[in-house]
């Protein structure tokens, strides 16, 4: 959005009935400081160094693995090294899922291995059966009970590429709901074309779940080239597949949300929450998902913490490296539970969990009285090439649970055009991140966190009954 | 090269002393037919269908594996289905190398798996040791005897990208010579940054060899992102690695060169040889290496075979799907041995074994009396965007052994800019091939084979002593 358009949007936003007596606003000094933070962030490489450190020294960090504990230790040490005023942890318990080995093989005259990976939450087991292909989830869900007896269901949907990742909705539902639909039709195994947009031999994993009362079956995803291969083989004739997975649930584990704070100047008990998640899937080093989010927000807090004390924002900046996002937002849920009685002290929250592409939009659904302040933040973000979407909502996964309790929430939308080329694959590694784009993200989070933490007035956080199923 | 430039090059080529009495030349009717073949090839998808069939129905086909035998059966059937006049096989025996499992793991505080693959020819075994990094092969070769006792040598050279693949020379020497150099310095294991130009988690395999008298050690290559990771870890401090390979030589195997012929109109015993190799490495489906070469040349021969009998070229078109190129040109060597007394009947040869990128240059080192005919072929290739390199040489790997015995040889240089992104990796799959570029290749091979087979006169094939080490 160009500046004129932005001002127009601001004017429109303010044209509704305004309770002028308590309109939230941001002071000129804060706007000046935010501008300096923005320029400092673009010159710095703190975010990059944090991402490099986590992905290199810890590497892959599946929730519940030994690397999970190393990641927690790393995060505590990194917050301290970055000069955070207060560093603390919050226990997060969850069932532990382990991946040990996996193979998928075409049997018969075209015998060959396919590159596949177990879906998170899949049980182990070896199944052989004829493949029955479905073009989409709806077709599988329409398969009559018993119609897949002894067979392996294959959902062959091709995810579409989009800047906002909108193709992931349909694709990830095939991962989360497909296995249960296959079981209902009698299938003994489940396989899907990965929810991804690349053409490399890297299958995309991700959590699945099995509906209550169903006996879980081995469930895996094929890399995109392997799915094309299976589809070509099916065009020639029937295909029998062997899926052999050694994986499954194994006890409970307690990890930690790791939290670093830059204490506020005058309202230290009120917080702006930013963060990312510390865990990753096991095959890549979790660079874009989500070392980037951890690095962006740790670096943003660090920049704010490096300001002269008198320029500190009124409220505290709380940066959270959430535990086990991948397997069910466990860290986000634990945080929300612990803060259920403290919603009003949460000024606003935002999470970075969509890679490291440049941020192109800023959006938040706030009461009318807070729109002026939101517009001021948008104006400070605009030099970063970020447009204000006055009609947009947005909230990252781990701040979702507390947002559903009433915390105000903002979205800094990243360009995710390439995100699903690497997401949940071995290919999610440091080399996929552009340092300049990462610095732009740090700048945006620093500006957003600083200005919202220093605003006079609030963004509408207020307790409300928890929504189901968040 | 533009047409004017081409004509100029032709004039220059012909300006030397010419034995006019036996200058090789090509008739006008043949030039006209070649033009028609060229246009037909660009419209057809025979090459694509052959590549699709081999990569899908047979899949990966490591020399000596059960898929090797399936590939031979496939090739015989495909030649017949494409209407070749004569289909025959020639036994090719070689030692069988097997890959069973492999893992490479960083030990200690940054414990993590790295994506690596055994080099072909590596023995199995598990070794642990501290990594010693070398920037290039020369540095490793300069390491004093005993200096790497108990350690693992790591050569960290980054291959450069080039249209002609020229970066592969230095990179592949690190694969073939590095392990022996490591053994001489006392190392117990060997690892290298893959000879590749991509940034995906796909290690590039390829044959290595161990010098006489040395006890082989486990030798593997890291994917490019994993090599970057290892180098970053080494920047922090010492790194211990465990390399565990289960692979090795296991007996002898006899495969087959599969040969299809389009019989010549008037000189059926004289042949133009074109071909590719039938085997592949085991992890991809060998689409660019070298189903493409097989498909391009099978389709070119098929087009020529589809001409009315009266328009058949004077000589026979012999298309060879060579056995086991990857592990030492075994098929090419066997063919050369069998034809050592028959060199003069080999008009000229060319092999397609550099992927499926568009051909950009035509080159051959022929006697002066054959340059006019070469120029005529170049003129027929020019509408395909192919320039004549009058100073160039070129000969594919499997026709190398017979070329060293005296067969004339031509090179149709493919654009290999992306070739080493996929070469010898799991990612060498059908989706990496552009059907239009493949058709352009078929057109070029059809034109080249047809015109050289119909030329009046020869291109200089004559027996000479075999060169050592080819």
Report whether pLDDT(A134) > 80.
yes
Contact flag A225-B431 (C-beta cutoff 8 Å)? yes
Tens digit of each residue's pLDDT (9 = 90 or more) over A229-279: 999 999 999 999 999 999 999 999 999 999 999 999 999 999 999 999 999
Chain A: residue nearest B62 by CA?
A112
Q: Which of residues 218-247 of B touch A (CB under 8 A)?
A: 224-225, 228-229, 232-233, 236
Tens digit of each residue's pLDDT (9 = 90 or more) over B272-304: 999 999 999 999 999 999 999 999 999 999 999
What pLDDT score does A22 carry? 85
Contact flag A200-B430 (C-beta cutoff 8 Å)? no
The DSSP result for A201-240, as a single string, is: S-----B----TT-----EEEE-HHHHHHHHHHHHHS--E
| pLDDT band at residue B375 under the 50/70/90 scheme | very high
Tokens of A380: 């400070």
- From the CA of B438, how many Å to the nearest CA of chain A? 19
What pLDDT score does A469 carry? 40
Percent of chain B scored above 70 by pLDDT? 94
- From the CA of B204, how many Å to the nearest CA of chain A? 13
Chain B: residue nearest A57 by CA?
B110
Percent of chain A scored above 90 by pLDDT? 92
- From the CA of A64, how many Å to the nearest CA of chain B? 15
CATH topology of domain B100-250: Glucose Oxidase; domain 1 (3.50.30)
Helices (H), A108-249: 137-141, 168-184, 224-236
Mean per-residue pLDDT over chain A, rounded: 95
What pLDDT score does B8 carry? 62
What pLDDT score does A470 carry? 39
CB A463 within 8 A of CB A405: yes
- Residues listed for chain B: 470
Residue A121 to residue A208: CA distance in whole angstroms = 6
Q: What is the ipTM of this complex?
A: 0.94
Neighbouring CB atoms inside 10 A of B344's CB total: 13
What number is the average pLDDT over the span B372-379?
97
Tens digit of each residue's pLDDT (9 = 90 or more) over B139-189: 999 999 999 999 999 999 999 999 999 999 999 999 999 999 999 999 999
Determine the residue among A65, A200, A230, A431 to mutate to test chain B binding: the one whose Cβ has the most chain B Cβ atoms within 10 Å.
A200
Tokens of A106: 């075409």
Q: What is the 3-state secondary structure (H, E, C) of A16-30?
A: CCCCHHHCCECCHHH
Residue B287 to residue B292: CA distance in whole angstroms = 6
Tens digit of each residue's pLDDT (9 = 90 or more) over B204-234: 999 999 999 999 999 999 999 999 999 999 9
| pLDDT band at residue B41 under the 50/70/90 scheme | very high
Residue A92 to residue B151: CA distance in whole angstroms = 41
Which of B60, B113, B202 comes nearest A112 by C-beta? Answer: B60
Chain A: residue nearest B239 by CA?
A57
CATH 3.40.630.10 fits B3-85+263-454, yes or no: yes
- From the CA of A402, how many Å to the nearest CA of chain B? 34
- A354 DSSP 8-state letter: S
Contact flag B115-A426 (C-beta cutoff 8 Å)? yes
Buried b (16+ CB within 10 A) or exposed e, A277-293: bbbbbbbbbbbbbbbbb
Q: Is B287 an 8 Å CB contact of chain A?
A: no
**DSSP reduced 3-state for B219:** strand
Size of interface A-B (CB pairs under 8 A): 93
More confident residue, A333 or A394: A333
Query: First vs last Cα of chain A: how many Å apart?
Result: 32
Judging contacts by C-beta atoms under 8 Å, the chain A residues touching residue B56 are 110, 229, 232-233, 236
Chain A: residue nearest B285 by CA?
A112
What number is the average pLDDT over the span B425-430?
98
Contact flag A113-B60 (C-beta cutoff 8 Å)? yes
Going by their DSSP bridges, the two strands B112-114 and B86-106 should be labelled as antiparallel
Residue B309 to residue B121: CA distance in whole angstroms = 47
Contact flag B56-A115 (C-beta cutoff 8 Å)? no
Tens digit of each residue's pLDDT (9 = 90 or more) over B95-136: 999 999 999 999 999 999 999 999 999 999 999 999 999 999
Tokens of B135: 């920037």
Tokens of A256: 């930690």
Residue A179 to residue A190: CA distance in whole angstroms = 6
CB A208 within 8 A of CB A238: no
Closest CA to B443 of B140, B121, B37, B20: B37
Residue A165 to residue B71: CA distance in whole angstroms = 41
Tens digit of each residue's pLDDT (9 = 90 or more) over B19-34: 445 899 999 999 999 9
Residue A317 to residue A227: CA distance in whole angstroms = 45
Report whether pLDDT(A468) > 50.
no
Tens digit of each residue's pLDDT (9 = 90 or more) over B431-470: 999 999 999 999 999 999 999 999 999 999 999 865 444 3
Closest CA to A378 of A396, A392, A361, A395: A361
- From the CA of B412, how many Å to the nearest CA of chain A? 28
Which of B70, B111, B426 comes nearest A115 by C-beta? Answer: B426
Closest CA to A120 of A209, A21, A43, A217: A209
Residues in Cβ contact with B420 at an 8 Å cutoff, skipping those fewer than 6 apart: B159, B161, B165, B167, B168, B171, B195, B196, B197, B198, B204
CB B351 within 8 A of CB B410: no
Determine the residue among A117, A196, A423, A426 to mutate to test chain B binding: the one whose Cβ has the most chain B Cβ atoms within 10 Å.
A426
Judging contacts by C-beta atoms under 8 Å, the chain B residues touching residue A203 are none
What number is the average pLDDT over the span A390-405?
89
Tokens of B237: 């401090």
Instruction: Write the burial class of residue A199 (CB in 10 Å: 0-12 exposed, 13-18 middle, 19+ buried).
Output: middle
CATH 3.50.30.30 fits A97-250, yes or no: yes
CB A309 within 8 A of CB A449: no
Contact flag A110-B58 (C-beta cutoff 8 Å)? yes
Tabulate helix, strand, coil % of chain B (nearest 5): 40, 25, 35
* Phi and psi, residue A421, nearest 5°: -75, -25
Lowest mean pLDDT among A21-25, A349-353, B332-336: A21-25
What pLDDT score does A21 carry? 55
Residue B160 to residue A123: CA distance in whole angstroms = 44
- From the CA of B60, how many Å to the nearest CA of chain A? 7
Closest CA to B288 of B410, B424, B160, B385: B424
Q: What is the CA radius of gyration of chain A?
A: 23
Tens digit of each residue's pLDDT (9 = 90 or more) over B68-82: 999 999 999 999 999
What pLDDT score does B469 carry? 40
Residue A77 to residue A260: CA distance in whole angstroms = 10
Q: Is the dihedral of CA B376, B381, B386, B391 positive or negative?
A: negative
List Cα–Cα distances, A261 to A22, A275, B94, in angstroms.
Answer: 28, 11, 66
Residue B254 to residue B175: CA distance in whole angstroms = 26
Query: First vs last Cα of chain B: how many Å apart?
Result: 32
Residues in Cβ contact with A446 at an 8 Å cutoff, skipping those fewer than 6 apart: A34, A37, A38, A40, A41, A299, A300, A303, A304
Residue B172 to residue A227: CA distance in whole angstroms = 32
Residue in the structure block whose two tokens are 């970055």: A82
To which H or E segment does residue A336 belong? helix A330-338
Q: Is A418 an 8 Å CB contact of chain B?
A: no
Query: What is the CA angle A343-A348-A350, rounded to 5?
Result: 120
Determine the residue among A237, A282, A429 to mutate to test chain B binding: the one whose Cβ has the most chain B Cβ atoms within 10 Å.
A429
Q: Is A110 an 8 Å CB contact of chain B?
A: yes
Residue A428 to residue A288: CA distance in whole angstroms = 6
Contact flag B228-A431 (C-beta cutoff 8 Å)? yes
CB A358 within 8 A of CB A385: yes
Contact flag B112-A285 (C-beta cutoff 8 Å)? yes
Q: pTM for this one?
A: 0.94
Q: What is the CA radius of gyration of chain B?
A: 23
Q: Which of residues 298-357 of A touch B (CB under 8 A)?
A: none
What pLDDT score does B6 carry? 63
What number is the average pLDDT over the span B394-401?
89
Tens digit of each residue's pLDDT (9 = 90 or more) over A327-378: 999 999 999 999 999 999 999 999 999 999 999 999 999 999 999 999 999 9
Tens digit of each residue's pLDDT (9 = 90 or more) over A43-88: 999 999 999 999 999 999 999 999 999 999 999 999 999 999 999 9
Q: Is the dihedral of CA B230, A292, B108, A204 positive or negative?
A: negative
Q: Is B52 an 8 Å CB contact of chain A?
A: yes
What is the domain partition of chain A in residue ranges? 3-85+263-454, 97-250
- Centroid of chain to Cα B282: 16
CB B195 within 8 A of CB B174: yes
**DSSP reduced 3-state for A51:** helix
List Cα–Cα distances, B356 to B167, B328, B364, B386, B439, in angstroms.
Answer: 18, 22, 20, 15, 9
């Amino acid at each position: 959005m160009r500046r004129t358009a932005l001002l127009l949007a601001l004017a429109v936003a303010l044209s509704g009935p305004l309770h002028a007596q308590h309109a939230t606003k941001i002071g000129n000094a804060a706007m000046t400081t935010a501008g300096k933070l923005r320029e400092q962030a673009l010159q710095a490489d703190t975010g990059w160094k944090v991402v490099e450190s986590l992905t290199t020294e810890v590497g892959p960090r599946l929730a519940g693995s030994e690397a999970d504990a190393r990641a927690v230790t790393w995060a505590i040490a990194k917050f301290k090294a970055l000069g955070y005023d207060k560093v603390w942890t919050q226990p997060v318990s969850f069932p532990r899922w382990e991946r040990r080995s996996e193979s998928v093989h075409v049997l018969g005259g075209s015998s060959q291995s396919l590159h596949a990976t177990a879906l998170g939450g899949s049980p182990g087991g070896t199944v052989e059966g004829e493949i029955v292909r479905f073009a989409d989830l709806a077709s599988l869900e329409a398969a009559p009970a018993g119609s897949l007896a002894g067979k392996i269901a294959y959902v062959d949907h091709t995810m579409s590429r989009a800047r906002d990742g909108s193709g992931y909705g349909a694709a990830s539902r095939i991962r989360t709901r497909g296995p249960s639909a296959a079981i209902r039709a009698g299938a003994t195994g489940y396989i899907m074309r990965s929810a991804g947009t690349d053409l490399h031999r890297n299958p995309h994993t991700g959590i699945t779940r099995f509906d209550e009362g169903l006996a879980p079956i081995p469930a895996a995803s094929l890399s995109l080239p392997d799915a094309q291969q299976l589809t070509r083989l099916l065009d020639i004739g029937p295909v029998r597949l062997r899926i052999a997975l050694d994986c499954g649930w194994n006890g409970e584990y307690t990890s930690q949300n790791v939290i670093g704070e830059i204490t506020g100047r005058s309202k230290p008990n009120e917080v702006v929450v930013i963060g990312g998640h510390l865990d990753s899937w096991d095959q890549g080093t979790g660079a874009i998902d989500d070392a980037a989010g951890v690095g962006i927000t740790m670096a943003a807090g660090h920049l704010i913490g490096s300001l002269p004390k008198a320029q500190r924002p009124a409220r505290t900046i709380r940066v959270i490296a959430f535990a086990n996002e991948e397997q069910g937002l466990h860290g986000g849920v634990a945080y929300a539970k612990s803060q259920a009685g403290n919603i009003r002290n949460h000024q606003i929250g935002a999470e970075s969990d969509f890679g490291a592409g440049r941020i192109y939009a800023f959006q938040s659904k706030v009461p009318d009285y807070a729109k002026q302040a939101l517009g001021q933040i948008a104006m400070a973000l605009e030099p970063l090439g970020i447009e204000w979407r006055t009609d947009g909502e947005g909230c990252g996964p781990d701040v979702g649970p507390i947002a559903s309790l009433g915390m105000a929430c903002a979205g800094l939308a990243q360009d995710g055009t390439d995100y699903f080329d690497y997401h949940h694959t071995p290919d999610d590694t440091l080399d996929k991140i552009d340092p300049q784009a990462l610095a732009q993200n740090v700048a945006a989070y620093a500006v957003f966190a600083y200005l919202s933490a220093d605003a006079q007035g609030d963004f509408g956080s207020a307790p409300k009954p928890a929504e189901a199923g968040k």
